[in-house]
Amino acid sequence: MTDYRVKPGSKVKLGKMDPDDTGAFDPKKDGKAKAQARTDALHETLSVLQERLYANGSHALLVVLQGMDTAGKDGTIKHVMSGVNPLGCRVSVFKAPSHKELSHDFLWRIHAEVPPKGYIGLFNRSHYEDVLITRVHGMVSDKVATQRFRHINDFERLLHENGTTIVKCFLHISKDEQRKRLEARIQDPEKRWKFNPNDIAERKLWDRYVTAYEDAISATSTDEAPWYIVPSNYKWSRNVIVAETILAALEAMKLRLPPGPPGVDFKKLKID
């Protein structure tokens, strides 16, 4: 698989990264079918490793999904995690903070949603909203955003040192692809419920969001919590890349199933 990981200390330029990239899967041939077959095969392995994670109870996995509107955060969760036991997963969606949440530091509400050991946690949007939308709309200064980058790095290092593996995926789509997806929502009665008129207003700030994402990803892709730029114009390619990335993170934990209760001889044990 192509390495989509952002090296710590590197300067991200999204304009130089192709959102149409599909790696080894050629969309002009049978790339879509092969990618979907690969994703299906990964589901089986993910299911096995998730059971080990849950049974072991010593580590957790946090998957952060960020991207422009229509980038496919919901779809990624649906398709990539479809073969995983929902009892071992937690999905958190972060909307505008409540009055109570605003009375605390910006990471307060995030920490409460971090997956406990044994679980996979998926953040649909995340603490990064507080250095993205807030910065784009002038709610925080560049100075405050830079301070928050440091707070985020410290926070993610804390999680890492306490047994949580962190994978952060930026779902990278083009502005033209976003237009097509917004139009599809408008035209299809089955998708209109997803349409938010505010998405059109936010689209006008595309360039500002690109800059905010580039700065945030560049400042916070670390060895403990790396970012991955996932080309997402092709949904089927996006799914296999994210699945591969999650699988690699679980495999790196080298988890084994715990032994049975001590003192039990399973070879001689009989159930009447």
pLDDT per residue as tens digits for the range 42-68: 999 999 999 999 999 999 999 999 999
Query: pLDDT value at position 244?
Result: 96
Indicate the Cα dihedral angle 15, 16, 20, 23, nearest 10°.
Answer: -150
Query: pLDDT value at position 272?
Result: 79
Query: pLDDT value at position 151?
Result: 98
14-252: CATH class: alpha beta
For 237-262, how does the pLDDT look when each residue is reduced to its tens digit (9 = 90+)?
999 999 999 999 999 999 988 888 88
Low-confidence stretches of the chain (pLDDT < 70) are: 1-2
Query: pLDDT value at position 121?
Result: 97
Q: How far apart are CA 63 and CA 210, in angstroms?
A: 21
Query: 235-252 vs 31-56: helix axis angle to the nearest 10?
Result: 30
In 3D, which of 203, 201, 199 has the Cα closest to residue 174?
A: 203
Compute the half-sphere exposure of residue 73: CA atoms within 13 Å on the CB side of its CA.
21
